[in-house]
Structure 1
Amino acid sequence: MFTIDSISIRYEQKNIISNFSFHVNQGEIVSIIGPNGSGKSTLLKAIARNIPYHQGTVEFDGTNLKSMNSKQVARKMCLLSQRNQAPTDMTVIDLVSYGRYPHKKWFEKLNKEDMEIVYWALEKTHLTDYKDRTIDSLSGGESQRAWIAMALAQRPKVLLLDEPTTYLDISHQHEVLELVRELNQDMGMTIVMVLHDLNQASSYSDSIVVIQTGKKVACGSPYEVMTKDMIRQVYRMNAEIQYMPSEKKPRVLLMNTIK
């Protein structure tokens, strides 16, 4: 699907990401985890070509993303940031409609096919009844679903989510992650997301990438990555790992901070 090969990112002569590589298969859910300030969001922005990298390549189906223009990239992947902002009086359907513009020429209006895709995206995110509501009238979970609907209307092959559960309460976190799983299972959409919660990453991911101070520490399935040693090394915490066959994914029980 796409490959990140030896990516390095600098800011004011300081290395933020160093020689970072991993591969994402089509139809996978991949989570990037690591402590605050480790470079998770920076890495995601570089993959989406929102920020430059001075070394390495990002290839999508064998094509270097640097050889594509912005519209071509937008048709292949969409990045949703931690904080997405829209005018307070914008309606849900207007927001979702913006997802069609990478497929249109300058000043070209949306046609019947575009609107069918917009309504399809609203239906997929369970927002059809909310289409005329303004964005500022939505709950946190509803607002996040509206932005995901906009991304779906863009019809990308890959959805990049930067901490999609940040600022949401537990029920809305569950709502958003269940939607992500539904999109992956029903549509085969490839998802790469940054998460903080280790158990959410374990439960919802096919594979996990661990980053610490800009370097890759581990990459593999939740069973391979979620270990006592990794958590001790990366998070400076002792933990117990429960292996529950009924859930098919390991569960992390954080114990105490290592002094």
Structure 2
Amino acid sequence: MFTVESISIRYEQKNVIRNFSFTVNPGEIVSIIGPNGSGKSTLLKAVARHIPYYEGSVELEGTNLKAMSPKQVARKMCMLSQKNQAPSDMTVIDLIAYGRYPHKKWFEKLNDEDREIIQWALEKTHLTAYQDRTVASLSGGESQRAWIAMALAQRPKILLLDEPTTYLDISHQHEVLELIRELNRDMGMTIVMVLHDLNQASRYSDNIVVVQAGEKALCGKPNQVMTTDMIRQVYRMDAEIQYILSEQKPRIHLLSTAR
């Protein structure tokens, strides 16, 4: 159980997230959506302890994250940002090895168990053939998979992803989202991600949290959240909603700016 309770975040005396609460159950995929500037990424960074919040609490399995050391948090939760950068000469396998450091003492070397986990992460992300390539030489989709492999080597229970499909073309977006779904399905990994694309959020999420101007507008299953009223009120767009029988998930067709 992962719980965000009434957190508020302030930048330069301005409230950007106000009294925000939501719960993520083990093994769920939860997407955070909302217009640009609504506070989605800020909320995720605060949940990951990358930025402070001045009110409320974030609890993982009943323990307040502020009471945990950075290493303790890293063993349970990992966040990947929108744009991740590695040194130009770093290989894929060296990047993935960084995921083992939360489990090591200072200057402790990798052992056979660590190397097995690194190879497992390569296999899970379909990157075994790329392990000796530099990260800089990879395509956008391959690079994103390499960073996800690094997160997997960390063996977290929760993976936080800030717009994982940003900067990717359509095919690579699909590739990364299918990998995320595979990790959730096969490993029971809990995923919380910020997404821009409403149809991607609808298709790949168990639950969706809608952020509007720093506040929670809605939270629920895709067929509860993805309504014409929500899209009009939050995005100022008119839309049609279609249900695909094979998926039982709403598909959104944006029509025009709402008047």
Whether these two folds match at TM > 0.5 is: yes
Instruction: Tell me the equivalent position of 1:217.
Output: 217
Question: CA–CA distance in 1 between the matches of 2:188 and 2:69?
Answer: 25
Root-mean-square deviation (CA, aligned residues, Å) is: 0.5
Query: Residues 88-137 of structure 1, C-alpha deviation per residue, up to 9 Å, x if partnerless?
Result: 11000000000000000111111110010000000000000000000111
Query: Residues 53-85 of structure 1, C-alpha deviation per residue, up to 9 Å, x if partnerless?
Result: 000000000000000000000001000000101
TM-score by length of 1: 0.99
Matches within 5 A, 1:83-162: 83-162=83-162
Question: CA–CA distance in 2 between the matches of 1:12 and 1:202?
Answer: 34
Query: Residues 114-169 of structure 1, C-alpha deviation per residue, up to 9 Å, x if partnerless?
Result: 01000000000000000000011100000000000000000000000000000000
Instruction: Tell me the equivalent position of 2:34.
Output: 34
Matches within 5 A, 1:3-18: 3-18=3-18
Q: Does 2:84 correspond to 1:81?
A: no
SS of match in other structure, 1:52? coil
Displacement of 1:248 after TM fit?
1.4
User: Number of residues paired by the alignment?
Assistant: 259
TM-score by length of 2: 0.99
> Which amino acid is 1:249 matched to?
K
Percent identity between the aligned chains? 80
Displacement of 1:218 after TM fit?
0.3
SS of match in other structure, 1:36? coil
Question: CA–CA distance in 1 between the matches of 2:154 and 2:253?
Answer: 39
Displacement of 1:208 after TM fit?
0.2
Question: CA–CA distance in 2 between the matches of 1:43 and 1:127?
Answer: 31
> Which amino acid is 2:211 matched to?
I
SS of match in other structure, 1:191? strand
Question: CA–CA distance in 2 between the matches of 1:244 and 1:129?
Answer: 37
Instruction: Tell me the equivalent position of 1:229.
Output: 229
* Structure 1 unaligned blocks of 5 or more: none
Query: Residues 37-63 of structure 1, C-alpha deviation per residue, up to 9 Å, x if partnerless?
Result: 100000000000010000000000000
Question: CA–CA distance in 1 between the matches of 2:27 and 2:167?
Answer: 27
SS of match in other structure, 1:106? coil
Displacement of 1:207 after TM fit?
0.2
Displacement of 1:36 after TM fit?
0.4
* Structure 2 unaligned blocks of 5 or more: none
Displacement of 1:243 after TM fit?
1.4
Query: Residues 183-240 of structure 1, C-alpha deviation per residue, up to 9 Å, x if partnerless?
Result: 0000000000000000000000000000011000000000000000000000000000
> Which amino acid is 1:102 matched to?
P
Question: CA–CA distance in 2 between the matches of 1:150 and 1:112?
Answer: 17
Superposition misfits of 4+ residues, deviation over 4 angstroms: none
Instruction: Tell me the equivalent position of 1:240.
Output: 240
Question: CA–CA distance in 2 between the matches of 1:129 and 1:53?
Answer: 42
Displacement of 1:246 after TM fit?
1.3
